[in-house]
Amino acid sequence: MVARRATSEDAVTVDVVHGDGPAAGDGHGDVRHGQIALVPVDLRLRARVLALGPHPRQRRYSGVPSDTLPPAERDPAQYPVAIVEDGNPVGFFALQGGPGAGRLIRGRQEMLLRAFFVDATRQGRGIAPRALLELPRYIRALDPAIRRVVLTVNVDNGPAIRTYLRSGFVDTGELFHGGIYGPQHVFALSVPRAPAA
């Protein structure tokens, strides 16, 4: 069980890459990167998260926080998370467990990742893969029972598909037809137990 709702004091720091570029394999050249952290959205971050959004043409893929954050806050089975760079929110997603997450989530050991985006002004800098790299550690801290994260991604959303596959998600081969914007792949990421100290 999750003992309490986390706050931004519980930020998990992910990664620091300066100078000669990002982690190997993300293909973003010599862009200078800040420190990325996954941080629970609480009152300190809320207004700045609500100001974020993807490009208008991408809204159909992730929604916008004004639509996705309030229901996540109201639902005790959802955990709204900010992607923070050098202390500034630059992206958002929500994790959801329980029956409300739908039929793709089977039991207590799985969570749905939803509403994931990087702000339009910050895309193309490798923020999403660096945030996703830290997801297992974040989820273990949230609920050590979780072993798998599942998401759906529209079949025409090439950049997101490549981002997830580069970040350890695998295509389950299943197609989800419940979205209003066409079929979606079902991807899953294993969450290994914490390495022994």
Residues that bind ligand COA (CB under 6 A): 26-28, 54-55, 58, 61-62, 116-118, 123-129, 151, 153, 157, 159-160, 162-163
| Minimum CB distance to ligand COA, residue 67 (Å) | 13
Residue number, 142 or 176, with CB nearest to ligand COA: 176
**Shortest distance (Å) from residue 95 CB to ligand COA:** 14
Closest CA to 122 of 90, 158, 88, 164: 90
Q: How far is the CB of 153 from ligand COA (least distance, A)?
A: 4
Give the integer Cα–Cα distance in Å for 169 and 148.
Answer: 10
Closer CB to ligand COA, 142 or 160, in the complex: 160
Cβ nearer to ligand COA, comparing 2 with 50:
50
Taking the complex as a whole, the smallest distance from the CB of residue 150 to ligand COA amounts, in Å, to: 11
Q: How far apart are CA 14 and CA 110, in angstroms?
A: 22
Of residues 47, 42, 121, the one with CA closest to residue 85: 121
Nearer to ligand COA, 7 or 60 (CB): 60
Residues contacting residue 111 through CB under 8 Å, at least 6 positions apart: 95, 96, 97, 101, 105, 139, 143, 146, 148, 149, 150
**CA end-to-end distance (rounded Å), the chain:** 22
